[in-house]
Amino acid sequence: MRILLLSRYSPRGPSSRLRHYQFLPALAEAGLTVTVAPLLPDSYLEALYTGQTRPPRSIAAAYAARIRQMATARNFDLLWIEKELLPWFPYGAERWILESAPPYVVDFDDAWFHHYDRSRWPLVRRILGGKLIG
């Protein structure tokens, strides 16, 4: 089975490392082939951890790469999505992209489903509040 892991971060991101990367050796041992495709580059994490501004161009490029990547998703038997395919995008965009995708599983950790509906920003609550719970 060929799996495309659409993680949020590289192994440098604790959530991705603990939720996904630690299992890759066991999955390989079981005969599964996992291709890893983190959304955000390590420079994003470096900026996040040091309190610097995360570069909008880098983030936009990462999103564009993720969308282009979905054109090859049919080469896999399963998609393994960490939290969301496209964070901060409405669910309709993700649904449209995933319509022609192979079967997928979405892995949420903690109470991630409250990420938008309990946001401190009213506009986020209004536009994205039902994305993960609806």
Measured distance CA(94)–CA(109) in Å, rounded: 19
Residues 59-108 have pLDDT tens digits of 899 999 999 999 999 999 999 999 889 887 888 888 888 898 999 998 87
pLDDT band at 30, cuts 50/70/90?
very high
- How high is the pLDDT of residue 26? 97
Q: Indicate whether this model's pTM tops 0.85.
A: no
- How high is the pLDDT of residue 42? 81
If you ran DSSP here, which 8-state letter would residue 54 be given? Answer: P
Q: What is the mean pLDDT of residues 121-130?
A: 75
Nearest Cα to Cα of residue 100 among 80, 70, 64: 70
